[in-house]
Amino acid sequence: MPNPYIPMLTKIKTVVSENKVNDIKTLELVFKKEEDLKSFDYNPGQFAEISLIGKGECPIGIASSPTEEGSIKFTIKKMGTVTTGFHNVEIGDTVGVRGPLGNGWPIEEMKGKNIVIIGGGFAFSTLRSLVVYFLDERYRNNYKDITVIYGNRDSGEVLYRDILEEWEKRDDINVVLTIDREEEGWTREVGFVAAVVKKVAPSPDNAIAVVCGPPIMIRTAVAELVNLGWKDEQILNSLEMRMKCGVGKCGRCNIGNKFVCIDGPVFSLAELKKIPNEY
Amino acid sequence: MEYKILKKDQIIKLYNDLTKDYNFFAPIKEKRNIVFRKITNPEEIVLDYLNSKVPPKEILFPEKDILFEYKINDNEIELEEPKNLNEQNIIFGIRPCDAHSFVLLVNFFSQGDFKDEIIINRRKNTILIGIGCNTPKSTCFCTSVEGNPFQKDYMDVFLVDLQNEYLVEGISDKGKDLIKKLSWLADAKEMDIEKAQELKKQAEESITTKLDLKDIDKILDPNFDHPIWKEVSETCIGCGTCSFLCPTCTCFDVIDENVPNKNRGRRIRIWDTCQSCLYTLHTSGHNPRNSCIQRVRNRILHKFCYYPENYGMLGCVGCGRCVQLCPVNNDLRTIIEKIKKIEPKREEKVSA
């Protein structure tokens, strides 16, 4: 078995600045070795440990979908040493990748169900992966109605604008975009995500909801779903924790007897209620 | 079963015979503490010690361990596997609790889809020549955690100090083969074996701490929010000594260490501790275990609740280092006694 701490090497193919403030960028990476590309067989919702050799490593959710073949994408907010390093890279630079890691969204269990995807802020990356996967013509028929509710502080913070506009044009997905306050030229919803959830009122019948975002948004949005009759088993979250190894060894991402890196990051609300509130 | 006798002055001969094929690690005195080191002078070996301050887990899981090395040439990066993983080691003079901890270390690092071959390989390539504890310390409690001062099951070769000589017993196949190679060892007499039995009995009886840890996880699990955690963490200063010097603690941090002014370096792991607030601190500033109460609780629960839940065994070997070396005298044994006294929660009566 190979050393699980040695990354595969990739090169940066494209860099896209995702927001007006320019502190969120999406890097597209291509593997240097064909066999590494093949071994990187992932599901939406999984993550990878990506590194700048000599600077360090950090866990980032995979923003691309496995249906987008040939490259992988990561959306990175400039936060600390390594992520700032990622904001200073150039096309062609080398990036180390270890993964795919974690359980990912349960795309098999979600088959035959109505899907409600609720996201806030830059936590939308693995949701992008999930929606792109669902909308692929090979898989779209496996799932019923798909609703996406995506909220941001202001219009400048909305990620993946091009692809969101494409989704809005389609008739097999309902996309609801919202920002916190009114803005000139903004024609979509205005208000917090929870309020929009209440307004859209997705039915819990034969449905699964995926909720990702800042803690306050998760709490309020989940409360609205519960009001609408949703059960804890139907609501999925993806957790973030400080991680080093990503493979269940370095210890720090434990919540009770679970490790977020290998037992998660995706947990249902029912599962979260069984473990300590240390996340 | 075959027993042999190793005279105390034959340790040098033993070393000379084995050091050709093995890195020979043994307890020596360094800065007034006992430490396990790869030795070059067998006269330095100290066997009449109570226990080392830093556990010999540092041989399998060093405080600083290379995960891989890298060279950066313009934009071409070369990665290299860590070296010396296949070297053969002997740990001479390891105590039963520390040998027990190796079982836990290997168990943990072998779990799941991602095996830590660095540590698994080191263990595979290491022979343990252990020694029983004739005079356990006052802080020892191995007999409460499925251990024993003469626990030999986790050794390859087991020694008992009979005062002028050691009784030698091959435990594993590896250990038995090793003894065959040391053909100059004299045969033991019946009375030597009887003396060893007597010493074992005396040692066991000298351990006065008796903790009942059966089903402790079932007490801990429902009492996550019990006020006891505030009480037992009040004096903790978060120094992390208890976990850094714990033979079963496995947590680590990962950093890139560049060679100054050179285009190369290595990604290393270093021991880390769940007792530090930085351990779980997110870059955003959010910290899931921001308080000392949470961190003390995590350490205890990890060893006595999460570890048994996940792997069916306790995460403690009773070496007593955390008890002996805590700067504020927080005593794990007392904490466990307090936990044991928690009254089971009464079923809430529901009336219509």
Same domain, A214 and A118: yes
Q: Does A41 touch chain B (CB under 8 A)?
A: no
Q: How many other C-beta atoms are found inside a 10 Å radius of the C-beta of residue B215? A: 9
Does residue A256 lie in a domain region?
A: no
Same domain, A87 and A133: no
Which contiguous run of DSSP H or E holds residue A209? strand A207-212
Does residue A267 lie in a domain region?
A: no
Same domain, A232 and A154: yes
Q: Does B257 touch chain A (CB under 8 A)?
A: no
- pLDDT at position B84 is 82
pLDDT tens for each residue of chain B, 352 residues long: 589 999 999 999 999 999 999 999 999 999 999 999 999 999 999 988 889 999 999 999 999 999 999 999 877 899 999 988 889 999 999 999 999 999 999 999 999 999 999 999 999 999 999 999 999 999 999 999 999 999 999 999 999 999 989 999 999 999 999 999 999 999 999 999 999 999 999 999 999 889 999 889 999 999 999 999 999 999 999 999 999 999 999 999 999 999 998 999 999 999 999 999 999 999 989 999 999 999 999 999 999 999 999 999 999 999 999 999 999 999 999 999 999 888 776 555 565 5
Same domain, A130 and A75: no
Name the domain count of chain A.
2
Strands in B165-170's sheet, in edge-to-edge order, are B33-38, B23-30, B89-94, B126-131, B157-161, B165-170, B3-7, B186-187
Q: Does B290 touch chain A (CB under 8 A)?
A: no
Does residue A274 lie in a domain region?
A: no
Q: Are strands A235-238 and A266-268 parallel, antiparallel or unpaired?
A: antiparallel
Same domain, A127 and A218: yes
Check whether the bond before A4 is cis (ω within 30° of 0): no
Q: Give the whole-angstrom CA distance, residue B333 versus residue B212.
A: 10
Residue B346 CA, distance from chain mean position: 38
Same domain, A233 and A157: yes
Closest by Cα among B323, B349, B351 to B335: B323
- pLDDT at position B352 is 54
Same domain, A58 and A157: no
Does residue A254 lie in a domain region?
A: no
CA distances from B52 to A183, B102, B153 (A): 67, 15, 21
Does residue A65 lie in a domain region?
A: yes
Q: Tens of pLDDT along A141-155?
A: 999 999 999 999 999
- The answer for residues whose C-beta is within 8 angstroms of residue A206's C-beta and 6 or more apart is A112, A113, A114, A144
- The answer for residues whose C-beta is within 8 angstroms of residue A98's C-beta and 6 or more apart is A4, A5, A6, A7, A8, A48, A49, A50, A51, A57, A246, A247
DSSP assignments along B219-278, one per residue? HHGGGTT-THHHHHHTT-----HHHHT-TT---EEEEEEEPTTSSEEEEEEEE--TTSGG
The average confidence (pLDDT) of chain A is 95
The minimum CA-CA distance between A111 and chain B, rounded to whole Å, is 26
Q: Give the whole-angstrom CA distance, residue B291 versus residue B152.
A: 40
Arithmetic mean of pLDDT, A76-80:
95
A residues 151..210 contacting B (CB < 8 A) = none
- pLDDT at position B345 is 65
Same domain, A90 and A157: no
- Chain B residues closer than 8 Å to A254 by CB: 298, 302, 306
CATH number at residue A230: 3.40.50.80
Residue A78 CA, distance from chain mean position: 17
Q: Do A4 and B114 touch (CB under 8 A)?
A: yes
Query: What tokens were used for B34?
Result: 């006992």
Does residue A33 lie in a domain region?
A: yes
Please say whether the beta carbons of B54 and B35 come within 8 A. yes
Beta-bridge partner residues of A96 = A9, A51
Same domain, A118 and A234: yes
More confident residue, A84 or B75: A84
- Chain A residues closer than 8 Å to B298 by CB: 254, 278
- The answer for residues whose C-beta is within 8 angstroms of residue B70's C-beta and 6 or more apart is A53, A54, B77, B78, B79, B80, B256, B264, B265, B266, B267
Does residue A266 lie in a domain region?
A: no
Q: Predicted ipTM?
A: 0.92
Q: Give the whole-angstrom CA distance, residue B84 versus residue B268.
A: 15
Same domain, A38 and A89: yes
Of A48, A74, A100, at which residue does a domain stop? A100
Does residue A45 lie in a domain region?
A: yes
Strands in A24-31's sheet, in edge-to-edge order, are A56-61, A47-52, A94-101, A8-17, A24-31, A72-77
Q: What angle do CA B206, B51, B90 make, to 5 degrees?
A: 120
Beta-bridge partner residues of B3 = B169
Q: Do B72 and A53 touch (CB under 8 A)?
A: yes
Q: Do A53 and B70 touch (CB under 8 A)?
A: yes
Q: Does A255 touch chain B (CB under 8 A)?
A: yes
- pLDDT at position B343 is 76
- pLDDT at position B351 is 57
Q: Which of A7, A54, A93 comes nearest B265 by C-beta?
A: A54
Domain that holds residue A163: 114-238
Q: Which chain B residue has its CA at the smallest distance from A83's CA?
A: B283
CATH number at residue A23: 2.40.30.10
Backbone φ/ψ region at B98: left (φ over 0), alpha (ψ -120 to 50), beta:
alpha
Same domain, A120 and A90: no
Same domain, A89 and A131: no
With a cut of 90, say whether residue A1 has pLDDT above it. no
- The answer for residues whose C-beta is within 8 angstroms of residue B313's C-beta and 6 or more apart is B104, B107, B146, B307
Closest by Cα among A58, A138, A134, A137 to A95: A58
Q: Give the whole-angstrom CA distance, residue A75 versus residue A63.
A: 6
Of A48, A72, A100, at which residue does a domain stop? A100
- The predicted model scores a pTM of 0.93
Q: Which chain B residue has its CA at the smallest distance from A81's CA?
A: B283
A-B CB pairs within 8 A amount to: 122
Q: Do A92 and B305 touch (CB under 8 A)?
A: no
Q: Do A1 and B310 touch (CB under 8 A)?
A: no
